[in-house]
Structure 1
C-alpha cells in the first residue's frame, strides 16, 4: 500500500513537482524558513519548530526529491508504528487492528502523506502503544509530536490524567521542551519559538469546521450575505456571514472548556472506577485520548480535512484491546475518512463553489464527528461507572 504512494511521489519528484502542502513546505525549505525570502503565503512559523526538522531533512538533496523523501519518512514511521502495534506480527490478536490502521491510512491518502499530520499520527500511535506502562517514553514521544503539531497535546493531557507516575510525564515534557528551546536558540530563531500560538489566532471560520455548517448552507442557498472565500494569507477556504466573527471568537474558549471538561470526566472515571473495584488505566487512556482528540476537531474553528488523521491512533490501539468495544468508533472513522476523501481531494472545488451535494457530504461527515464525540464521552462515563464497558478492560488484564 505504501509502495503505491512512494511510486507516485517518485514520479512527481522526477518531474520536479510536489503535492498539496508539500509545495509550501518545499518553498519554506528553499527559503531557509525565513519570511523575508518568501514571495507571499503563510509563514513557516505557523507550525511548532520541530515540524521544520523533517522539512529540512526532506530538502537536504534540494527541491527535486523533496516530495519523495517526505513520503519515505512517513512510510518509515508508519512501518515502525505498525510493528509496535502488532508486536512485529507476533501479537495475533492485534493483526486486525493493524489492517484497520492501513485501510484508514490508505483512505486518507494524501491528507496524511502530504501533511505534517501524517508524521505525527504514527508517533502518537507508538506513544499510546507504550501507554501507561511506560509513561516517560510515551510522554517523550507525545512531547516531540506536540512540538511538530499541537494536537498530540490532547493525548498528553489524557496520559497525565490517568497514569500513576505523573512526575515522569511532566519530566519528559519539560526535558523535551528544554531541548527544543536549546535547538531553536542554536539556530538563532528563539524569538519565533511560540509564533505558532499567535499566527492563526485571528483567522475566521474555516469551510469544513463543524460549527461552520449553518453558514455553509446559508452560502449554498444564497441566504443573506453569507459567502465562501479564500484567505490567501493562510491558504484556507473560509466562510463569512452574519455572526461568523463572533463565532470565530467564541470557538477558542469553547475548545478550552471542552478540553477541561473531558479531562475532568477522565479524572472522575479513574477515581470513581477505583471505588467500584478498579478502573483499567489503559482503557481510560485510550477512551480519554479519543474523546480529547475528537473534542479538538469538533470544537475547532479550523477543521481542515487532515484533522481526521488525529482520531485514528487511539482507535487503532483500542482495537488491539477489545475489537468488540472499539468496532463502533472504528466503523464511524472509516465512514468519516471516506466522506473526507470525497471532500478533499476529489470534489473540494465543487464544495467551495456552493455545490449542494458536496455540502450534504460535508454535513454528514460533521454529524458523524459529533456522534463519535458523544460515543467517546459515553465510553468514558461507562468506564467510570464500571458497567458493561468494564468487560473489555478485564479481558485486557487477562491477556
Structure 2
C-alpha cells in the first residue's frame, strides 16, 4: 500500500476514534456543541434573533456559519452533535488532502503524521469546538501563502472572523511574505465584506462586541497565569478558590490581588505579542526567507497568545498545530524538538480535560500537577520559538536566498521536496 493510502486509513481511524471518545469520556467534552452551538444556530434558523447581529456575542459573526452548516449533517448520525463531528472531519479531510498531496514529499508526510498524532492525543475537545473548524482553514491558508497570497489571506481573515486566534498567523504572514500588499488586501476585502453584511443586517452596535467580551474576563482555571492561584486553592489558602462564572460559562480562579493580575494581563499579552512581532519584523527587514521565518514567527505569536492569556480553554492548544506542521514541512530536522513538545502538550491537556477535570475542580494535587506540567511545556515551546527567531539567518547570500525562496515555493505551494 502507498504511503498516502496508509495516511488516509490512519486519518479515518483517528477521526472516528476521537469522535466516539466525545461520547464516552467524562465531563462532556462535546458539551459546547449541543449546549451552546445548537441553540444559537436553532435560534438563527427559526428567525428568533441572530447572535452578533441582534444581540451581543462572545464570538465574531462568521462563527455562526459552521454552527448552521452542522445541521446539514445532523441526519447522518447522532443528531446535531454527530453532524458537528462530521463537519469538522470533512474540513480536516480537505486540508489533509492539500497537505499530503501526492504523498511524495517527506516533509509533508511527516507533518501529516504529526497532525494525526496531535488530534489523537488532544482528544475530543479539539473536534467538538469552533477551533476544530479554524485549524484546517488556517492550515490550508498557510500552505497557499507563497503561491496564492490573496486567497491565503482571505482564508486567514475568514478564520479570524470565526475565532480570533488566526490573527496571529495573519500577522506572521504580513511580516514574512514578500507580497505583503496581497496579504493585507485579501484580509481587508474579507473584513470589509463581513462588516458590511453585519451593518446592513442592523448589527453595527455588536460588530466588534466580541473584543470587549474577551477583555472583560477573569482568570480562567486552565490559563498558565492561573497556576499560582490554582495551587493556593489546592493548599486551601484563605480566599483562594475555584468558581463557576455563569456569564462566561467557564471555571475561573480567584485569590489575593486577583483584580490586579486580571488588569495587567491584557497589556502584558499585547506587549509579548508585539515584542515577538517586532523581532520577526527585524528579521524580515534583514532579508530572512519565508521558509526560515514564518514557522518560528507564527509559533512565537501563537504560543505568546496562549501563554500570556488570562483565558486558557483546552481547545486553545489546537492553535499550535499549524505552526508546527509548517515547521515540519519546511525544515523537519530542526522542528522535531518543538513538535515533540507539542505532542506532550496535547496529551497532558487531554489528561486534564476531560479525564481528570472533576479532580481539578475539587482542587486536587494530582490534576493540578498535570496542568502545571502542561503549562511548563507551553512556556518551553514559547522560549524555543523566541530562540529560533533570534537564530533565523539574516541577510543570507544571494544563492541561499534564491534556494530558500525556491524551497518555500515548492513545498508550500504544492510542488514538494522529494
Fold shared per TM-score above 0.5: yes
Alignment correspondent of 2:9 = none
For the pair 1:210 / 2:224, whether they are aligned, the reply is yes
Does the C-alpha gap of structure 1 residues 364 and 106 become closer, same or farther in structure 2, counting only changes over 3 Å? same
Inter-partner Cα distance in structure 2 for 1:204 and 1:268: 34
Structure 1, 310-319 or 174-183: larger mean CA deviation: 174-183
Alignment correspondent of 1:280 = 289
User: Could you state the TM-score of these two structures normalised by the residue count of structure 2?
Assistant: 0.85
Matches within 5 A, 1:136-155: 136-155=150-169
Matches within 5 A, 1:192-207: 192-207=206-221
Aligned residues: 383
Inter-partner Cα distance in structure 1 for 2:94 and 2:140: 8
1:232 is matched with which residue: 246, 257, 268? 246
Q: Aligned-pair distance for 1:31?
A: 2.4
Matches within 5 A, 1:16-95: 19-23=30-34, 24-32=36-44, 45-59=57-71, 65-95=79-109
Alignment correspondent of 2:271 = 257
Q: Aligned-pair distance for 1:119?
A: 0.5
Gaps of 5+ in 2: 1-13, 411-416
Structure 1, 92-101 or 72-81: larger mean CA deviation: 92-101
What per-residue deviation string (whole Å, max 9, x for no partner) do you get for residues 220-261 of structure 1?
A: 001231111010111111111111111111111111111111
Q: Aligned-pair distance for 1:104?
A: 0.5
Q: Aligned-pair distance for 1:285?
A: 1.1
Q: Aligned-pair distance for 1:3?
A: 2.7
Gaps of 5+ in 1: none
Inter-partner Cα distance in structure 1 for 2:347 and 2:210: 30
Are the counterparts in 1 of residues 269 and 308 from structure 2 also a CA contact under 8 Å?
A: yes
Alignment correspondent of 1:344 = 353
Alignment correspondent of 2:6 = none
Q: Which has the higher contact order (CA 8 A, sep 6+)?
A: 2
Are the counterparts in 2 of residues 339 and 362 from structure 1 also a CA contact under 8 Å?
A: yes
Inter-partner Cα distance in structure 1 for 2:290 and 2:95: 21
| Secondary structure of 1:45 counterpart | coil
For the pair 1:293 / 2:305, whether they are aligned, the reply is no
Inter-partner Cα distance in structure 2 for 1:165 and 1:200: 32
Are the counterparts in 1 of residues 29 and 124 from structure 2 also a CA contact under 8 Å?
A: no
What per-residue deviation string (whole Å, max 9, x for no partner) do you get for residues 100-137 of structure 1?
A: 10110122221111100110011111111112332212
Q: Aligned-pair distance for 1:395?
A: 9.8
For the pair 1:2 / 2:11, whether they are aligned, the reply is no
| Secondary structure of 1:229 counterpart | strand
Are the counterparts in 2 of residues 5 and 71 from structure 1 also a CA contact under 8 Å?
A: no
What per-residue deviation string (whole Å, max 9, x for no partner) do you get for residues 140-197 of structure 1?
A: 1110000000000001011001122211111111110122123324544332221111
Inter-partner Cα distance in structure 2 for 1:180 and 1:144: 9
| Secondary structure of 2:165 counterpart | coil
Inter-partner Cα distance in structure 1 for 2:229 and 2:164: 27
Structure 1, 135-144 or 287-296: larger mean CA deviation: 135-144
Q: Aligned-pair distance for 1:376?
A: 0.1
Inter-partner Cα distance in structure 2 for 1:340 and 1:83: 27
RMSD: 2.8
Inter-partner Cα distance in structure 1 for 2:96 and 2:236: 47
User: Could you state the TM-score of these two structures normalised by the residue count of structure 1?
Assistant: 0.89
Inter-partner Cα distance in structure 2 for 1:116 and 1:183: 21
Q: Aligned-pair distance for 1:199?
A: 1.9
Are the counterparts in 1 of residues 74 and 84 from structure 2 also a CA contact under 8 Å?
A: no
What per-residue deviation string (whole Å, max 9, x for no partner) do you get for residues 246-290 of structure 1?
A: 111111111111111111000112233x3xxxx221221111101
| Secondary structure of 1:225 counterpart | coil
Alignment correspondent of 1:181 = 195
